[in-house]
Amino acid sequence: MITTNPFDDDKLREECGIFGVSSGETASAIVALGLHALQHRGQEAAGITSWDGNDFHTHRAMGHVAGNFDRDEVIRGLPGESACGHVRYSTTGETSLRNVQPLYAELNSGGFAVAHNGNISNAMKLRRELIRRGSIFQSTSDTEVIIHLVATSSYRTLLDKFIDALKQIEGAYSLIVMTPEGMIACRDPLGIRPLVMGKLGDATIFASETVAFDVVGADYVRSIDPGELVIVTNSGEIRTHRPFGETHARPCIFEHVYFSRPDSIIDNSSVYSVRKAIGAQLAIENPVGADYVIPVPDSGVPAAIGYAQQSGIPFELGIIRSHYIGRTFIQPGDKVRHLGVKLKHNANRALIEGRRIVLIDDSIVRGTTSLKIVQMMREAGAAEVHMRIASPPTKHSCFYGVDTPERTKLLAHKLDIGGMQDFIHADSLAFISIDGLYKALGEAKRADIRPQYCDACFTGDYPTTLTDQDEVVVQNQFELLAERVV
């Protein structure tokens, strides 16, 4: 039986990653390289669609970019000077090839391909309405709703049809769209999901993170603004539209905490520097006497460096991670499953034995990983094990494109900090405060009205309506009432 690695299963999954090239030679090869750099954002599936001036070509596959897009025959089958690609985790829709993006359809105006990072929070309602009007869906992905809204719009031009579709959807989206007229890149009015623009020679490039530009040798130009549409014609002309008027940005704060690679620039800030600042603030708020500061690899490393520098406690690698273990492995029984945990992480016993240690991690989701890590430290002979978390407690589910467990499965929803400390068997447990997190991001504190970021996973303050979720809540309440009546 193949199951998910228990360490990966206890992390918030990183939504998706998108990458597009307009007017560039060997566009699909550049997209494949860009997707390699964004692989951390989605490891279930990958796809690329290209446009050769006459026809669209698509290759989609389950699994990683490597092995699916590193063969010459695949790239040769994706000709053209424009291409877009996608790496995916399933946040909406089943895990199957029919949901792998980019999604493509032949509309009245010609071919239409879309790569989407985010989640449409009224997709179920829109889907029901579209089906009643005669639309036939080929996937269970919320992204396909966009295609049908464009196809059924009564506006005349394709751009107006697309804007009409965007004004009907709620939630979070960064999109790269390809049509016979050119490429469109856009973000939702709050800019919840990231999207940046770069240049590679005469080619215009879009990506979820700047690290993808570094890999392909492109120059970073700027972030796409919240609510902005950037249009690149086949001749290379760039135009912008702002159909939503003035907007108030609420980008996802968890991009800084965990999702983005530390060598990326998000909201004009170095992710690595921000994570070090978070660790330093964590040390100011939650000091502890210890011999070593030890990161939980790899996401806890920058924050641990910041904690160590601020506290004066030496930074050491007390947990060694194997980089040769994939996200899945054989686990034929409980005993072997327990031993399999050490395939990916193992305690540096010679360092830890008899020492007081501070473990630094980016978050606690279900708590199972923290429990295993603390147990591993105990078995290696640690005298004391203290846990410090570089984000506030994750108490609420995300409905904006992050694969979050149901709220009832989040440890911080079920237990207070004392209860969480007992659950993971740590000598102490502490989290950075929400105001401390904002301070590390350069803000004085979290604004009470219209906060600077989307932090709903910590605060429950969702910046948009959640139509589908509200319907589910009402339906559950109705069913519960019906059971009581019976």
Element (H, E) at 419: helix 417-424
Nearest alpha carbon to residue 237 among 177, 156, 181, 287 = 181
CA 369, CA 379: separation in Å to the nearest integer? 15
Reduced to 3 DSSP states, what percent helix, strand and coil does the chain have, rounded to the nearest 5? 35, 25, 40
CA angle 397, 402, 407 (to 5 degrees): 15
Task: Evaluate the omega torsion of the peptide bond into residue 422 and state whether it is cis, within 30 degrees of 0.
Answer: no
CA 304, CA 319: separation in Å to the nearest integer? 12
Residue with tokens 């969480």: 420
Residue with tokens 């034995």: 353
HSE value, Cβ hemisphere, 13 Å, CA-based, for 3: 13
Helices and strands: H and E segment counts in the chain: 18, 23
Write out the two tokens for 425.
């068997």
Write out the two tokens for 422.
């007992």
Contact by Cβ (8 Å): 266, 21 = no
Active site residues: 16
Residues facing residue 293 across a β-bridge: 315, 358
CA 159, CA 145: separation in Å to the nearest integer? 17
CA 193, CA 400: separation in Å to the nearest integer? 8
Element (H, E) at 129: helix 123-132
Contact by Cβ (8 Å): 103, 50 = no
CA 14, CA 482: separation in Å to the nearest integer? 38
Element (H, E) at 223: strand 219-223
Chain centre distance of CA 356: 34
* Residue 405 CB neighbours (<10 A): 18
